[in-house]
Structure 1
């Protein structure tokens, strides 16, 4: 569902409205629009300027979040080591590809199959342990 927006660039406006409604129903089920007809039919996605002006913003934000969550889990186990890995990552920023930097920090690369599931499970386990 989430990937449909990028996997189907030829989607019609109506199809995009439907995709947005599906995502809102799953992730924001409490959101109600009352008598705002355009938003009720899934039009709120068109209010997101990032989609038009900076289309990779949400992707970049999600990649950063995946890495930040992993650093958080690792810091719960060994703060000093994790801080050193984070500082090393920052020192190398701009000198290598995203994937190389992620691997250099001993993180799971979000592009690898099943990686996001692994990250979510590590966070879930850390929350249960805490």
Structure 2
């Protein structure tokens, strides 16, 4: 949440109009998720001798999150297109998506999850429908900030600061393009990221 707080602090001083302090949600989540990576120079102050373990786990977690986030969005589309589905039919749809997006999971022996009711744990379905895809878009950009920081933290930070200073004056597409990042919608974007991450993980095995 530090990224949200920092963005609010900066944009309130850079953008004179209150309604333009915040970008759309995928832009705001980019503030937050990117900051998680850009605080790397200070991770050791908190995690101490567990710093490398944390950074490895965090990076892996971001990759596992993207297919889950897409699954959440996909499920919502099904539910809203087919309001006639019964509770059991919704559970079956969720199970189908589990096998599509997370085939590596073994849900046997977990009654709630094995019958497809795992979607109930995701509060966003009830409180902020269709929000979840914003996390996926933001995570894709945040990973690019991490990649940039691996080459030069200073350049990555300056780029991030410029992104934040825009507040809500531009659309998400414009913000990403102005930052010189690849839009998540672009063909090959995720492959470029995952190839880079895979190489990094290979060189930093725990």
Q: Is the structural similarity TM-score above 0.5?
A: yes
Deviations 1:101-121 (A, max 9, x none): 011111111122332222222
**Contact preservation (8 Å) 2:107, 2:113:** no
Bigger helix share: 2
Q: 1:5 aligns with which of 65, 75, 94?
A: 75
2:134 corresponds to 1:60: yes
Alpha-carbon deviation of 1:43? Answer: 1.3
**Contact preservation (8 Å) 1:66, 1:116:** yes
Matched residue, 1:81: 155
Deviations 1:70-101 (A, max 9, x none): 11111001111111101100111311000110
Matched residue, 1:29: 105
**Contact preservation (8 Å) 1:109, 1:115:** yes
Higher relative contact order (CA 8 A, sep 6+): 2
Q: Any gaps of 5 or more consecutive residues in structure 1?
A: none
What is the rounded CA distance, in whole Å, between the counterparts of 2:143 and 2:181 in structure 1? 10
Q: Any gaps of 5 or more consecutive residues in structure 2?
A: 1-69
Alignment of 1:1-130 (within 5 A): 2=71, 4-8=74-78, 9-11=80-82, 12-13=85-86, 14-25=88-99, 26=102, 29-34=105-110, 36=111, 38-129=112-203
Q: What's the secondary structure of 1:46's corresponding residue?
A: helix
